[in-house]
Amino acid sequence: MQLKIYNSLTAEKEIFKPILEGNIGMYVCGPTVYSNVHLGNVRTFLSFDFIYRTLMHLGYKVRYVRNITDAGHLTDDGNVENDRFVKQTRLEKLEPMEIVQKYTVDFHKVLEMFNLLPPNIEPTATGHIVEQIELTQKLIDKGFAYESNGSVYFDVLEYNKRGLNYGELSKRNIEELFANTRDLDGQGEKKNPQDFALWKKASPAHIMRWNSPWGEGFPGWHLECTAMSTKYLGENFDIHGGGMDLKFPHHECEIAQGKACNNTSPVNYWMHANMLTMNGQRMSKSTGNYILPMQLVSGDNNFFEKPFHPTIVRFCFLQAHYRSVLDISNDAMVASEKGYLRLMEAYKLLGSITPDDAKESGFNLQDWKNKCYEALTDDFNSPILIAHLFEVVKYIFALKDGKETISTKDLEELKTLLQAFIFDVLGLQTIEENNNEKLDQTLQVLIELRNQARKSKNFELSDQIRDRLLAEGIELKDGRDGTTYLLN
Ligand code: AMP
Ligand code: ZN
């Protein structure tokens, strides 16, 4: 079955051809670590985690690179005073690298909670300043960039004059862009308003600064992704991903930088994940319409009626295709929880089904398997895959009720397939049953065995049980109503 990927660059679903047979280089734009990630950010990273898992399941060897943006990050208005890191260091009275460390740790914790696999390489912008300075110099040398008052800008008009096409990804017409933009950035330093910063001169307020041939400053945001993706994946690599909102200007600028530097389009397949909304509005820190992952999981919020386990959130996200908008709501979460529990119940039930090789089954496992792989290879269609899983859930319940049969061979294959789809590909986890309940049940068994030993006058064994438990911090107390235990 051929893998098809929707390529944002061509706006078409294309048959995927890797540059190197069996191998994939994939780069995904990571977080800007100046504050806690919200649930919307998680959705994008989770979408790419599912894509990464699927690619591996399909047999590809994937090098997955996801960066950490930890250097100066200009806001849209380009005003250095509004740099998110500068603002946050003032607010929290911390060093910039303390801010970076604090929120990188938080980011990792959150992604681990939702069972995201770590990327193979997680490079940081501050760790690649030398590469970014080199790229900037290369662009100046090739005539695609110019220095102005200690900053360096990419010359968009020059790029287009040479027959390259700024706006090809976002389908924007450069003339329109020029006509519609006011020059807010750089206070007249730029030749044209669409020119973007490769290197920015640091104002006295800017604490994160590095020496460069153009004076002290810091790299432009777009440049870091070009520097890190090409360093680890090559000048032309297979897949580049990120949230829909990064298409313009971030990814457009990455294409321009890559083409200008290396005479080749940097990426073969551009993939963009759609947004998470709440109350019908895009989740975003700046508008205040957001929820932090822990608030949803702990129940500490005014929006959801109860706490939800991270794996339920994961399941809810995957019930929407990565290119569709998903609106998170209490009803959606409740429905996901119900669906998840039924799926897991069926999965567990499978262990107790007895096969029957004599009877013909009404369920064609091979057809079902093909449909699942069709969904996976059709631009990573997780909701269709999940719909197929619910078909098999129905079948498993029919097996349990004796209304259906399954052969030994099919039973084994179904177990393997379900295990792979549920845990490896969708990345769901089982919810731990109440540990205290399990411990209590286990201790009751041990108490009963000790009583039997005492009845049969095997005091050596009964004492051994008591002493071994005591050594583990569990004290048995014999009373008139039987034996109880005390956990120390
Ligand atoms: P940032 O840290 O702001 O660079 O964002 C990290 C990632 O989260 C980017 O890929 C964004 O596109 C993505 N993102 C931001 N808001 C949302 C949202 N509401 N839904 C889905 N993804 C989002
Ligand atoms: Zn990026």
DSSP string for 306-359: S---HHHHHHHHHTS-TTS-EEE-HHHHHHHHHHHHHHHHHHHHGGGPPP-SSS
Return the ligand 1 atom nearest residue 274 CA: 21
- 420 and 471 assigned to the same domain: no
Q: Residue 178 corresponds to which amino acid? A: F
416 and 444 in a single domain? The answer is no
- Report yes or no on 289 lying in a domain: no
Give 278 Cα–ligand 2 centroid separation in angstroms: 25
442 and 417, same structural domain?
Answer: no
The per-residue pLDDT for 80 is: 58
State in Å: Cα 415 to ligand 1 middle. Answer: 36
104 and 11 part of one domain: yes
Is the same domain home to 162 and 236? Answer: yes
Nearby residues for ligand 2 (ion, Cβ within 5 Å): 29, 225
Q: Which atom of ligand 1 is nearest to the CA of 245?
A: 12
Nearest ligand to the CA of 240 is: 2
Rounded CA-CA distance 302/278 in Å is 13
Is the sign of the CA dihedral 161, 165, 166, 171 positive or negative? Answer: positive
Best probe residue, ligand 1, of 27, 41, 45 (max atoms within 8 Å of C-beta) = 41
Task: State which of 403, 425, 447 marks the end of a domain.
Answer: 425
- The per-residue pLDDT for 92 is 86
Q: Which atom of ligand 1 approaches the CA of 282 most closely?
A: 19
Ligand 1 center from residue 306 Cα (angstroms) = 25
Q: What is the pLDDT of residue 482?
A: 85
Output the six-digit token pair for 488: 């120390």
Q: How remote is the CA of residue 216 from the centroid of ligand 2, in Å?
A: 23
Q: Whose CA is nearest to atom 11 of ligand 1?
A: 243
Is 110 among the domain residues? Answer: yes
Residue 328's beta-bridge partner residues? 278
User: Which pLDDT score, from 0 to 100, does residue 108 have?
Assistant: 98
What is the per-residue pLDDT for 188? 83
Statement to judge: residues 210 and 354 lie in one domain:
no
Q: Which ligand is nearest to the CA of 243?
A: 1
Entry field: residues in the chain: 488
Global pTM value: 0.88
Which range marks the domain in which residue 470 is found?
435-487
Which distant-in-sequence residues (6+ apart) come within 8 Å of 422 by Cβ? 343, 347, 389, 428
Domain CATH code at residue 195: 3.40.50.620
Q: For the CA atoms of 201, 204, 208, 210, what is the dihedral angle to 10 degrees?
A: 50
Query: How many domains are contained in the chain?
Result: 3
Region of 173 please: left (phi>0), alpha (psi -120 to 50) or beta. beta
Nearest-atom index, ligand 1, CA of 244: 12
Tell me the per-residue pLDDT of 227-253, one tens digit each, with 9 for 90 and over: 999 999 999 999 999 999 999 999 999
Cα-flanking dihedrals φ and ψ of residue 26, to 5°?
A: -130, 130
Query: Which segments of the chain have a pLDDT < 50?
Result: 76-77, 186
